[in-house]
Amino acid sequence: MIPPVSGQDALPQVDRAALPAEVRKASPEDQKIYKTALAFERTLLTQLAQAMNPEPQGDEEETGDAAGGAYRSMVPTTMADSLVQRGGTGIALDLYRSMTRGDSK
């Protein structure tokens, strides 16, 4: 398993089975590169999800409750974490391959 990072931008635990075979077999240094690429993918997915989940404006804001707003703000990060835990969308793998020159498609 990829070890977790500390801090606010910590990656969720990623099941080893969800990692690409070439990453599981890679050196610890290359696995660290993949973890960095996966963190980038998580950030990108969070930003995309935030763009799809705009903040309420005007009358919408007044009719919503505080709890709904709190949960609404958690959706993008939760969605991104869920995708990353299952191996991501493939962006991290493409980045990993380009960074390790292992692009053998």
Q: What is the mean pLDDT of residues 25-44?
A: 94
**Residue 57 in 3-state DSSP?**
coil
Q: What is the mean pLDDT of residues 26-30?
A: 95
Report pTM: 0.73
Place of tokens 């660290």: 32
**What pLDDT, on the 0 to 100 scale, is given for residue 66?**
65
Residue 77 to residue 49: CA distance in whole angstroms: 8
- Residue 22 pLDDT level (bands cut at 50, 70, 90): very high
